[in-house]
A and B are shown apart, each in its own frame.
Chain A
């Protein structure tokens, strides 16, 4: 196994994430105001995986998160923004990182999410009705973390996901939509969390997923697309959930991720020499975690949270 200590610029990545969180004047921070909840989840989870979550003032974060909750029970991407299922999961995940799920009115959130399930078992992202298997994963992950999956019709949710399965063994956003590694993560993750992985053709899907590795060692999300560090997370976590991660060349993937670091200022990009961002920094670090890279904490492939956080939720009370 590759991955030598010292190749991962962990300290610089931590500094980069903290800097992004504090940045004031650039356009990027302005136009991402509405998705700060989601960004906070990616950034804070990365800090935890790198063993540096204690740097953050958790009381400030928790009070901000709670101010983003809407009377419907859902959370918005920031204070004063409409609730959406994406930010609701991010809020729950952030609170889980800080062991603060006890501040939540669990029934209220669970009812909000259950209210987004449609008669065919699919989920909408919010009251406006956009449907996508991403939202199926989010609903199931969120309710599972809150230990109340019984609030939804799990069987119908699973059936809808299975209706999105394609001839190549993969899954798309809706029935008939092209297989895409990001959607596959969502579908496989939702099936894993509901104990339904027996529905997956693991050998066929596993082969499609390992075919995503290209010569550079990186993974793409669909045939003939460029490799991108984000698929180190989406593809690899899916392969782990179906027990087929050994079908790719792990050393080559580690090298690809390491080559995507900004070694001067920290952060990880989609491909070598591109501009870094918080999302790809998470995907790179979490990918390395799945590859058992030294000095990175283990991440849970289905919950997308550090394993110690998941264990704390399910085994310590």
Chain B
């Protein structure tokens, strides 16, 4: 475990294995725009890094100095680049490298360089790394379930190395923890559309609609499942308009009279695509209007837009625009 050797806390200038190296300071140009006075220990490590980097010395001690530099500043991409060249030259044990990355990632879970390096290592290890990578991302996501880098890495692992089998269950578990987690909804869509084991979107539609309707009823103010529900029909607008599950979840939420913005907006979309509302819909929308709204001579789609403009004043211009461009058949 090469990084454990940074147990030697002496400055590099006092370690025998570095006595033949002349450190190279950062060149800030002849008239530095922004002269930077580096912190002493960091400065020294970087000076030695530059010495081996400019000499292109791909050795064990160079590997050590990149580890020290990265632990002080994981964002320096040039250090990571050089580290990869050294790892290749030394034919190093890449499972140990995964351990090193784990250690660095603990303090920097949103650092681009770490994730890119991790992918490079995992790519070299191939399917040997599958379960380790799924576990690693799961651990990072247990601390922040919306970490964009972790999700991106996990999607790459699934597509390139496999491991799809438990992914839908994992999404389900994350959504049980937080039904508002849009990243988990996105992953769910990713799984049902791309997993080689589930048969694709149409095969999954019925069970997914049931699941999503349940999520909407639980929290109708949650934007994610409403958008997911529409996504389940993708380009098949006719099936979406005709599926009674879609219109009935709107009606259910409207009738309960709480958090109705997304139900109203979905109803509006349905109406714009030819949905024929029953009297129940008209009554439910009528019950939502405020006393100052006179909707007596307006049709349902227009009334929905008016109610939305009142309910969601921050986006009143959007709802007014929707009202103005209603297709003729809704009038």
With a cutoff of 8 Å between Cβ atoms, the chain A residues found around residue B75 in the complex are 31-32, 34-35
**With A22-B34, A31-B73, A223-B224 as contacts: A128 and B29 at CB distance below 8 Å:** no
> A119 interface residue, CB < 8 Å from B?
no
Any A CB within 8 A of the CB of B258: no
Interface residues on A, range: 35 or more
CB contact under 8 A between A213 and B314, given known A21-B33, A21-B34, A31-B73: yes
A-B interface pairs (CB < 8 A), number? 153
- Is there contact, CB below 8 Å, between A174 and B30? no
Q: Which single member of B43, B146, B223, B231 contacts A211 (CB below 8 Å)?
A: B223
Closest to A33 in B: B36
Q: 0/1 per residue, B1-41, Cβ < 8 Å to A?
A: 00000000000000000000000001111111111111100
Residue pair B146, A247 in contact (C-beta under 8 Å): no
Whether B36 pairs with A30 at a CB distance below 8 angstroms is: yes
Query: What distance in Å separates the Cβ of B222 from its nearest Cβ neighbour in chain A?
Result: 8
Would you call B234 and A177 a contact (CB within 8 A)? Answer: no
Q: Across the interface, do A80 and B148 meet the contact criterion of CB distance under 8 Å?
A: no
Q: Indicate with 1 or 0, residue by residue over B169-198, a CB within 8 angstroms of chain A CB atoms.
A: 000000000001111001101100110000
Chain A CB within 8 A of B211 CB: no
Cβ of A224 within 8 Å of any chain B Cβ, yes or no, is yes
A67 in complex: contacting residue of B29, B50, B181, B317, CB < 8 Å: B29
B315 & A128 in contact (Cβ 8 Å cutoff): no
Contacts of A24-51 to chain B: CB distance below 8 A: 24-25, 27, 29-36, 40
Query: Among residues 90 to 148 in chain B, which have CB atoms less than 8 Å away from a CB atom of chain A?
Result: 112, 116, 119-120, 146, 148
CB-nearest residue of chain A to B42: A30
With A178-B182, A223-B224, A247-B317 in contact, is A130–B36 under 8 Å at CB? no
Residue of A nearest to B315 (CB): A210
Instruction: Name the residue in A29, A125, A223 with the highest tally of chain B Cβ atoms < 10 Å from its Cβ.
Output: A223
Any chain B CB within 8 A of the CB of A79?
A: yes
Which residues of the partner chain A approach B84 to less than 8 Å between Cβ atoms?
Answer: 128
- Kindly state the separation between the CA atoms of A87 and B304 in the bound complex, as whole angstroms: 49
Residue of A nearest to B34 (CB): A21
- Is B234 a contact of A167 with CB atoms below 8 Å? yes
**Residue on A with the closest CB to B159?**
A176
A308 within 8 A of B: no
> A residues within 8 A CB of B34?
21-23, 29, 36, 40
Q: Which residue of A lies closest to B233 (CB)?
A: A167
Q: What is the bound-complex CA distance between A25 and B38, given in angstroms? A: 7
* Interface CB pairs A-B, < 8 A, 12: A27-B39, A29-B34, A31-B42, A33-B38, A57-B33, A60-B29, A64-B33, A79-B26, A130-B119, A178-B186, A215-B314, A224-B224
Q: Which residues of A contact B (CB under 8 A)?
A: 21-25, 27, 29-36, 40, 57, 60-61, 63-64, 67, 76-82, 84, 125-126, 128-130, 166-168, 172-174, 176-180, 206-208, 210-211, 213, 215, 222-225, 246-249, 252
Q: What 7 pairs across the A-B complex have the smallest Cβ distances?
A: A167-B231, A178-B186, A247-B318, A24-B37, A223-B182, A130-B116, A34-B76
